[in-house]
Amino acid sequence: MNQLQKQDPGLPCTPRLIRSDEREEQERYARCVAELVRAKEAETNRPVFCYLQTFGCQQNESDSEKLAGMAEAMGYRLTEEPEQADLIVVNTCAVREHAEKRALSITGQYKHLKDRKPSLVIAVCGCMVSQEKNLEKFRRSCPYVGIAFGTTFLYRFPEILYRHLCDGKRIFLSDAGSPGNLAEGIPVRRSSPHSAYVSIMYGCNNFCTYCIVPFVRGRERSRTPEAILAEIRSLAGQGYREITLLGQNVNSYGRDLPEPTDFPALLEQICSVPGDFLLHFMTSHPKDASERLFDVMASQRKIAHHLHLPVQSGSDRILAAMNRHYTSGSYLETVGKLRKRIPDIVLSTDLIVGFPTETEEDFECTLSLMREVRFDSVFSFLFSPRQGTPAAEMDGQVSESVKRERMKRLLDLQEEISLSRNQDLVGSVFPVLVEGISKTDSTTYTGRTEGGKLVHFRAGEGEDPTGRILPVRITKACPHNLIGEPVSE
């Protein structure tokens, strides 16, 4: 058995902080890989490329930025073309079955690249392969995949790759039973020059009955305020205009630290960092969204007036079955307190349609809550059974046809609400962070308001405002975006 595949028989019950000497060891492995890459470049007289493909949430995107940073430290150049790559890394998601199927399908499509270029290394990582069943699926069904490792091993990417390049043996590493770890100092290659993700914590302790995340990302573990603030200062010094703090439940930040702190206190410290940046964060669990958090959001102008507050269902019976620890009434009370303090708050949520035993009455409770709250936007999902979670084994699974019919009604209602809320903004002027040229219209630029609303507008001839914050007057509202025109500064 490969040394890397040996598992500690006495796994700790708490996450482990990666020591500085372990990080330095990975840096040595990165230099060793870089020597192999340079030798290959000299042999082939061309650059050596890495292609990264990411599925899933913002945390996965942040992980991929670390994978990209490590790849560059190992001498690889990043490419957007898998056909050009010498190393392909697929960072997977396990939250829904659709994401797993897509990852398997697309990884399968890379087989023909491996056939044409036998030296190509195909690696699969992330949440999906943190589950033993999926790790085995890749091992048995995808012989062209040379490396597979879960989230626990991300910081050891240089070591894993070096060993594979040296002996050509397949390396498959299981996260089974791991509580997760915390590794600082991993190189990062940001995907945007003006917007950045900063993970403040990893893992989850909530164990919602439908959710696989605690099993694939381990228990909650918070980075120290000092490490987070150092990263924020660096980003602010580089001129980043937007910073998004990430955590499965940011409201439980700091409870596991030797000197416990809390999320509102961290926000206040971050807002004291010099720099012209706007702060977003996600995700907030409703059971922990406190009045103190809302007070800090209202008092600190660096914090965006936007909150993503997943409700999942409007039925108290379903919420209890989900193990969410709040009711529809307490959720509405929380929203009321938030809007009292921040009247212009942009509020988004997550909703699951077709949770086991969901009746028509339960679903109507969800629609009723949507009408009462009037969310700006909703991220809605058909219930997807995740093997290993209690909900996957529950009686009363809802048929796909019923789920899809309910989903259509939910989306139709939200279209009406989103359009109405956006129409209220016509004529107003908002500062918009410009993200770049629209993917569908080369004459139009795309940006987002402080509340995350998508805005399309025409810039002046010969002007490229990408990365700037421009005042834009809203001239037209659509359900999913706004149309505007720049206002002279």
| pLDDT tens by residue, 148-165 | 999 999 999 999 999 999
- Report the percentage of the chain scoring pLDDT > 70: 96
Query: Do residues 401 and 462 both lie within one domain?
Result: no
- Among 143, 161, 181, the domain boundary falls at 181
**pLDDT at residue 9 above 90?**
no
Between 63 and 181, residue with greater pLDDT: 63
Q: Total domain count for the chain?
A: 3
Query: 400 lies in a domain?
Result: yes
| Residue 296 domain boundaries | 191-423
CATH number at residue 403: 3.80.30.20
Per-residue confidence (pLDDT) for residue 3, from 0 to 100: 35
Whether residue 315 sits in one domain with residue 203: yes
Residues 286 and 302 in one domain: yes
Residues 303 and 277: their CA atoms lie apart, in Å, by 9
Q: Sign (positive/negative) of CA torsion 417, 280, 260, 17? A: positive
Residue 9 domain-assigned (yes or no): no
Task: Based on the fold, state whether residues 393 and 441 are members of the same structural domain.
Answer: no
Assign 15 a pLDDT band (cuts: 50, 70, 90): low
pLDDT of residue 14: 61
Query: What is the radius of gyration, based on Cα positions, of the chain?
Result: 23
Higher confidence at residue 11 or residue 249? 249
Distances (CA, A) of 35 to 73, 166, 168, 348, 407: 11, 12, 17, 48, 53
Mean pLDDT across 456-462:
82
- The whole-angstrom separation of Cα 391 and Cα 243 is 35
Q: How far apart are CA 367 and CA 352, in angstroms?
A: 12
E-assigned strand segments in 314-367: 346-353
* Together in a domain, 214 and 148: no
- Residue 210, domain member (yes or no): yes
pLDDT tens-digit readout, 78-135:
999 999 999 999 999 998 888 899 999 999 999 999 999 999 999 999 999 998 999 9
489 pLDDT band, cuts 50/70/90, is: low
Identify the pLDDT of residue 8.
35
Please say which residue of 156, 181, 206 terminates a domain: 181
- Domain contains 402: yes
Residue 139 pLDDT = 93
Any domain includes 89: yes
Answer yes or no: are the C-beta atoms of 316 and 345 closer than 8 Å. Answer: no
The reply to whether 216 and 348 lie within a common domain is yes
Angstrom distance (rounded) from CA 359 to CA 186: 47
What CATH number is given to the structural domain containing 160? 3.40.50.12160
Same domain, 176 and 204: no
Which residue, of 389, 423, 457, is where some domain finishes? 423
Report in angstroms the alpha-carbon separations of 16 from 179, 180, 213, 222, 253.
8, 7, 18, 11, 17
Confidence of residue 441 (pLDDT cuts 50, 70, 90): confident
Tell me, yes or no, whether 98 and 72 share the same domain. Answer: yes
**Within-domain flag for 6:** no
pLDDT (tens digit per residue) in 387-401: 989 999 999 999 999
Please state, as a whole number, how many other Cβ atoms lie within 10 Å of the Cβ of residue 291. Answer: 13
How many DSSP H helices and E strands does the chain contain?
14, 21
Nearest Cα to Cα of residue 17 among 222, 198, 176, 246: 222
